[in-house]
Amino acid sequence: MMPPAASPDRTSPRFLDAGEAALVVEFGTVVDPAINDRVLALDAALRDERPDGFCESVPTYRSLMIHYDPLVLERSRLVALVETISARASAVRAPGRIWTLPCCYDPGFAEDIAEVAEIAGLTVERVAALHRTAEYRVYMYGFAPGFAYLGGLPAELAISRRARPRPPHPQSALLIGGGLAAVATFPMPTGWYVLARTPERLFSKSRNPNFLIEGGDSLRFEAIDASTFANLDRRAAAGEIIARQTR
């Protein structure tokens, strides 16, 4: 009984309560850049407005979760505010930034690429080329600190996730699975496949800014060799930003 997918237009969002201190503003039920744009536009406007009692907002593919203090900000006022913001003609998202992340597809950095090639019926070189030449949209973070979900994976690489998680991957792994791509900052067991690694950290506790990339930004990958990786990795570890921002 999936509710019908909202079309990416100006239709009113659905308001769903997640308890008395969180409100879900749902613009749709599917992964879609236009729906995600509406989520991000509301998120940005709400954070600008920052009404008393607003705690934090969590943008996802298709909805915005607003955590609020109902003793300060009544639900009815919050809903009215969201409706006002959503109806504004100016409620469009500013274009995201474009980032180029260096990444290494050498065998030691691409632990699962041969497995992916076999499942997808492609050569290893073709898998790397397809992955490297696509442009990705950052839909949202989730799952773990600095774990970014990316859309834009070429259809030839749309393979299911593993039935059982693989042992932890190294830090800053580029992953694919279930038709999506991801960048994972921290090592962890995963059902996704590791295709490459970047020396960049999407999140660092000690760097300013802690988080490099925002939802709505675009990512491109640029292949580097292992010795370049080692050099950039040292610089990134020292707090330098390695990714290039081209917009």
Partner 1 sequence: MAVPDAHLRILSTGGGATLQDAGRHGYMRYGITPAGPMDPLAHAAANRALGNERTATAIEVSLGGISLTAEDAPLDLAVAGGSFRIDLDGRPLPTAVALTLRPGAVLTIKAGRSGAWCYLAAAGRIEVADTLGSTATHTRSGFGGLEGRALRSGDVIPIIRSQPAIGEPAQLVSPWLERPADRIRVVLGPQADFFPPSEIDAFLANPWTVTARGDRMACFLAGTKLSHAGDYNIVSDGIAMGAIQVPGDGLPIVLMADRQPTGGYPKIATVIGADLGRLAQAQAGSVLHFASVSLEQAVAARRAEREALAEPVVLTPVIRTNLSSEYLLGLNLIDGVVG
Binding site for partner 1 (CB under 8 A): 1-3, 16-22, 24, 26, 29-31, 43, 55-65, 67, 70-71, 75, 140-147, 149, 186, 203, 205, 210-211, 215
Which H or E element spans position 137? strand 136-141
CB of 29 or CB of 100, closer to partner 1: 29
Q: What is the DSSP letter of 208?
A: S
CB of 60 or CB of 105, closer to partner 1: 60
Least distance between partner 1 and beta carbon 114 (Å): 29
Least distance between partner 1 and beta carbon 117 (Å): 27
Q: How far is CA 42 from CA 25, 37, 88, 107, 213, in A?
A: 9, 9, 10, 42, 18
Least distance between partner 1 and beta carbon 197 (Å): 19
Least distance between partner 1 and beta carbon 125 (Å): 32
Q: How far is residue 197's CA from residue 237's CA, in Å, rounded to a whole number?
A: 14
CB of 57 or CB of 218, closer to partner 1: 57
Closest to 199 (Cα-Cα) out of 166, 225, 160? 225
CB of 22 or CB of 124, closer to partner 1: 22
Torsion of CA 219, 220, 221, 222, to 10 degrees: -140
Q: How far is residue 146's CA from residue 140's CA, in Å, rounded to a whole number?
A: 10
Least distance between partner 1 and beta carbon 17 (Å): 5
CB of 101 or CB of 127, closer to partner 1: 101
